[in-house]
Amino acid sequence: MEKPWYKQFWPWFLMLLPFSVIIAMIITLTIASQQGDNPMVVDDYYKKGRGINAQVEKVKAAQELNIEFSFEQNEQTFTLSYASGSPTQLSALKVNFYHSTQAEKDFSETLTADAQGVYRGTLKYAEKGKWTITIMPFDNSWRVSQQIQLPAYRKLAIKPLTYGV
C-alpha cells in the first residue's frame, strides 16, 4: 500500500521552491518599503533639462570672465578668494555645498568679502567625502561648480567646468 501524497517527500520539496520565492519577495518588499522614496527620480524631465541648459550658459559666462577661485579649509572654516577674473566690485557670493550621496547634508551660505577680498565661511558638515561646491554671485549672472574632496588639506582651484553641471 502506497503512502498518501502529503506523507511523501517529493510533493513537499517541489512546493518548497515556489514558497521560498514568495517569502523572499515579501522580505524584499518589506525592506524596499522601509527605505522610502528615491530622491533621485525627477518627474518633469523636460523642465529639468531646460534648467541644466540655463546652468551651462551661466558656467560659460564664468569661463568668458575667466573666473577662478582658490578654496582653503582650516578645520570647520573655509576661505574663498578670486584667483583670476576678479570683478571691480566684490558682491556677495552664494556658496552651496552638495554631498554626493546624502541630500540631507546639503547646505548653503551667503558670504561677503573682507577688506582683502577674501570670503570666509563655516562648514556645517566637515566630514570626509566627495562634495560639489557651487559658487554664484548674488545676481546669478555666472556660476562656478566643481567636485572637491573634504577635508581639503591644501589649497584647491575651483574653476568653471561645464561637465557635471
pLDDT of residue 102: 84
- Angle (nearest 5°) at CA 108 between 105 and 113: 145
Q: Is the peptide bond before 151 cis (omega within 30 degrees of 0)?
A: yes
| Structural domain contains residue 2 | no
Regarding whether 63 and 87 lie in a shared domain, the answer is yes
- By residue range, what is the domain housing residue 21? 8-34
Q: Structure pTM?
A: 0.67
| Structural domain contains residue 165 | no
Regarding whether 61 and 18 lie in a shared domain, the answer is no
pLDDT of residue 23: 97
pLDDT digits (tens, 9 = 90+) for 122-151: 988 767 888 889 999 988 888 898 888 888
pLDDT of residue 40: 61
26: confidence class by pLDDT, cuts 50, 70, 90: very high
Number of domains the chain contains: 2
Regarding whether 27 and 107 lie in a shared domain, the answer is no
